[in-house]
Each structure stands twice: as structure tokens, then as C-alpha cells.
Amino acid sequence: MPDKLHSAVSHQLGVSVENRPILATVFNKDCQDTVTIFGGFHGDEPKSVHICREFIKLLSQHPAHSRHTRWVIAPLINPDGYERRHRRNAHKVDINRNFPTENWTPGKRNSRMFGGPSPGSEPETSAVINLIAAYPPHVIITIHSISDGRFCNNYDGPAKSLAEIMHQHNHYPITSSIGYATPGSFGHWAGVEKNIPTITLELPSHHSPKKCWQDNRPALLAVGAFAQHSQLS
Ligand SMILES: [Zn+2]
């Protein structure tokens, strides 16, 4: 008989500019200790989507990992960009610069990091904000990938100890800054302004999807244990 308490439910958070569904899978939905994981903010970073999908598979096969944790996993925030393998959405807005933060600026329209016509203008951004409201997270992991050896566990908000736990498993460097300003980023919105421990997990773009998964599977599971013992709410 299936374990009903720990079985997964699927949610549609909204649709993209081009009407593609934006989906999340929730395990152990009635538990309060929530870890929320995002992938595919940038359509040209498919490894982030791969890791989320592998993690959903793992949790589906091993319900014990969800016994004390509510996992909320949204593998692909920017399906239109992913379809084209482009960073930005179909409006050519960088979703990771479109969050309604106090430091939001549009930037240049033709830039890879264009923040959009106004803060929170994009349906993909609204989908993320709605998910955070529906399942308030104790901790957030947002997965990206990066070139030139800059892979890291980048933390925003009260997440240094969480970054240290992930580092013990994936051995990526810990940083509090990616090295350049990121106005309107999700990390700033969730970590700095909402005070939710937030890790931007930057995968090494030169590693295979398989290696990224092997290195980060134990790191993600360790985050679940951290959320259970965290006093943060
Ligand atoms: Zn990215």
C-alpha cells in the first residue's frame, strides 16, 4: 500500500510568457519543516534542472528521506528560456534580476541581465513568489551553474552554517558574494530581505550532469536534516 503521508503532490505555480506550465512537486506536504529547491531560473543552465529532477526521483523511490521534511521542488522556473537554451525568459528578462527588491534596477535592455520593465513584472517571478507564500520555507536552495571555476555555495541571509554543511558534502567553496552586484536577484529578495536562509548553489559548468548529481545528492539530503533541527521559522 502506498505511504500516503509521504507521497508527492504536483502543483502548477503558473504559466510562462509562452504559456508553458511552471510546476512544483511537494513531498510530505503536511509537515512544516520545509526545504524549497529551485532549478532552471536560467534556461542555459540545464544541469540545475537535471539535479532537481534526479532529486525528485530519489525522493519518490525513498520515502524515508521525506519522513521529517517537507520538500518543495520546482525544477524549471524558466521553461521558455530552457526551450531555447537561453538565459532569459521570452520577454528577454533575466528572472534572477526581476525580483521586487529595494535594490532592483532595470539595467540595460539588451544586457543578459536585464531586470525587466518593472520589479516583479514577469509571470515566472510571480510563480516563484506564490510558491514561497504557499509553503513558507525554512531554507531555500536555488540551483544555477557557472563557468571558469567559480562554482560555490553562495549564501544570502542567515545561511552561513547551511553553506558549511553543504560544503562538507560537495566541497565547493563558500562565498557570501558571487563577485558582482546582483540587484533584483532571488537570493537578495529571499535571503537578505525576507531573512530566509538561502543558498545559491552554483554548479561547475565543466562537470557532467552525472558528477554534479553525485557531488550534490548528499549535500541536498544534509540540508533536509538541517531544516529539521533549525530553530528558524
Ligand atoms: Zn544562473
**Centroid of ligand 1 to alpha carbon of 2 (angstroms):** 37
In the predicted structure, residue 1 carries a pLDDT above the cut 80: no
CA separation for the pair 130, 122 (Å, rounded): 13
**Centroid of ligand 1 to alpha carbon of 11 (angstroms):** 23
**Centroid of ligand 1 to alpha carbon of 95 (angstroms):** 9
Phi, psi of 99 (to 5 degrees): -80, 145
Give the burial class of 130: count Cβ atoms within 10 A of its Cβ; 0-12 exposed, 13-18 middle, 19 or more buried. middle
Listed range (5-9, 55-59, 83-87, 89-93) with the worst mean pLDDT: 5-9
Which residues span the domain enclosing 105?
Answer: 8-229
pLDDT by residue (tens digit) across 18-42?
999 999 999 999 998 999 999 999 9
pLDDT of residue 215: 97
Q: What is the mean pLDDT of residues 61-67?
A: 88
DSSP state, residue 132: H
CA separation for the pair 100, 183 (Å, rounded): 9
**Centroid of ligand 1 to alpha carbon of 64 (angstroms):** 31
pLDDT by residue (tens digit) across 90-115?
999 999 999 999 999 999 999 999 99
In the predicted structure, residue 148 carries a pLDDT above the cut 90: no
Q: What is the mean pLDDT of residues 206-226?
A: 95
**Centroid of ligand 1 to alpha carbon of 173 (angstroms):** 17
21-27 vs 174-175, strand pairing mode? unpaired
Residues of the chain with pLDDT > 90: what percent? 85
CA separation for the pair 69, 51 (Å, rounded): 19
Question: What positions carry a catalytic annotation?
Answer: 202
pLDDT of residue 5: 52
pLDDT by residue (tens digit) across 166-215?
999 999 999 997 777 789 999 999 999 999 999 999 999 999 999 999 99
- Hey, how many other C-beta atoms are within 10 angstroms of the C-beta on 118? 11
In the predicted structure, residue 65 carries a pLDDT above the cut 60: yes
Q: What is the mean pLDDT of residues 3-21?
A: 86
In the predicted structure, residue 2 carries a pLDDT above the cut 70: no
Q: Establish if 3 belongs to a structural domain.
A: no
21-27 vs 70-74, strand pairing mode? antiparallel
pLDDT of residue 7: 75
Q: Establish if 184 belongs to a structural domain.
A: yes
> Taking Cα atoms as reference points, which of 145, 127, 180, 138 lies closest to residue 31?
138
CA separation for the pair 47, 191 (Å, rounded): 23
Q: Establish if 159 belongs to a structural domain.
A: yes
Question: Helices in the chain by DSSP H: which ranges?
Answer: 46-61, 79-84, 123-134, 160-170, 186-187, 209-229
pLDDT by residue (tens digit) across 119-129?
999 999 999 99
**Centroid of ligand 1 to alpha carbon of 4 (angstroms):** 35
Q: Establish if 115 belongs to a structural domain.
A: yes
**Centroid of ligand 1 to alpha carbon of 233 (angstroms):** 27
Strands, E assignment, the chain: 8-15, 21-27, 34-38, 70-74, 139-146, 152-156, 174-175, 198-204
Q: Establish if 215 belongs to a structural domain.
A: yes
Mean pLDDT of the chain: 93
| pLDDT range class, residue 233, cuts 50, 70, 90 | very low
Q: Establish if 181 belongs to a structural domain.
A: yes
| pLDDT range class, residue 4, cuts 50, 70, 90 | low
Q: What is the CATH number of the domain that holds 97?
A: 3.40.630.10
> Taking Cα atoms as reference points, which of 214, 207, 199, 166 lies closest to residue 54?
214
CA 119 to chain CA centroid, nearest Å = 19
Q: Are 222 and 165 in contact (CB under 8 A)?
A: yes
Q: How many domains are there within the chain? A: 1
pLDDT of residue 3: 53
**Centroid of ligand 1 to alpha carbon of 215 (angstroms):** 19
